[in-house]
């Protein structure tokens, strides 16, 4: 399954938000700086996240974004789907009877990749933001994994 830039950046940004929102609403400019993501791209991503009620915005001085609900109830799949990132491992169009081959049949590996895609989606639906933060912190502590807390790219 190929995850595009929009989906990867949305997950990076929302995890950054979840990590830093304890101090109040988080500005997109601070996320942009820490994660090295274009501010205009983050604005597009957060508009979609807001429309799907994953984040809420606060205007004015000290304004920014917060999670709309607890980090334990927002799943990585929710974030990826909110930014309209397709989650599939086949070349075929979802829910189509027509396959990816020129003659319209499904390729020999279609079911293999479709099953793999289902497993990935199932996994992403089982990992909350809180889980991802905890995994990142535990692995960062052991220095075996570089998480994106301080602006490093994953």
pLDDT in tens, the chain (154 residues): 667 889 999 999 999 999 999 989 999 999 999 999 999 999 999 999 999 999 999 988 888 999 999 999 999 999 999 997 776 677 766 666 777 777 778 778 888 888 888 898 899 999 999 999 998 666 554 444 444 444 444 4
**Position 148 in a domain:** no
**Position 149 in a domain:** no
Considering its fold, how many domains does the chain have in total? 1
**Position 154 in a domain:** no
Q: Decide: 26 and 65 in contact? Cβ < 8 Å.
A: yes
**Position 41 in a domain:** yes
**Position 85 in a domain:** yes
**Position 150 in a domain:** no
Residue 18's closest CA among 61, 72, 97, 90? 72
For residue 134, the enclosing domain spans 5-141
The beta-strand segments (E) located in 1-63 are 55-58
**Position 78 in a domain:** yes
CATH number reported for the structural domain that contains residue 22 in this entry: 1.10.10.10
What is the distance between the alpha carbons of residues 141 and 138, in angstroms, rounded to a whole number?
5
3-state SS, the chain, equals CCCCHHHHHHHHHHHHHHHHHHHCCECHHHHHHHHCCCHHHHHHHHHHHHHCCCEEEECCCCCEEEECCCCCCCEHHHHHHHCCCCCCCCCCCCCCCCCCCCCCCCCCCHHHHHHHHHHHHHHHHHCEHHHHHHHHHHHHHCCCCCCCCCCCCC
**Position 32 in a domain:** yes
- Taking the CA of residue 114 as centre, how many other CA atoms within 13 Å lie in the half-sphere pointing to its CB? 14
């Amino acid at each position: 399954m190929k995850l595009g830039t929009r989906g990867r950046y949305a997950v990076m940004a929302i995890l950054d938000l979840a990590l830093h929102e304890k101090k109040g609403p988080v500005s997109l400019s601070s996320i942009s700086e820490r994660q090295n993501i274009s501010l205009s791209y983050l604005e597009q991503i957060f508009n979609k996240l807001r429309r799907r009620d994953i984040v809420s915005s606060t205007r004015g001085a000290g304004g920014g974004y917060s999670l709309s609900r607890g980090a334990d109830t927002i799943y990585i799949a929710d974030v990826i789907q909110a930014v309209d990132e397709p989650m599939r491992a086949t070349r075929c169009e979802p829910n189509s009877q027509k396959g990816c081959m020129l003659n319209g049949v499904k390729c020999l590996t279609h079911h293999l990749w479709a099953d793999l895609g289902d497993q990935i989606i199932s996994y992403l639906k089982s990992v909350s933001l809180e889980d991802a933060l905890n995994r990142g912190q535990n692995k960062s502590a052991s220095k075996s994994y570089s998480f994106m807390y301080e602006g490093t790219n994953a």
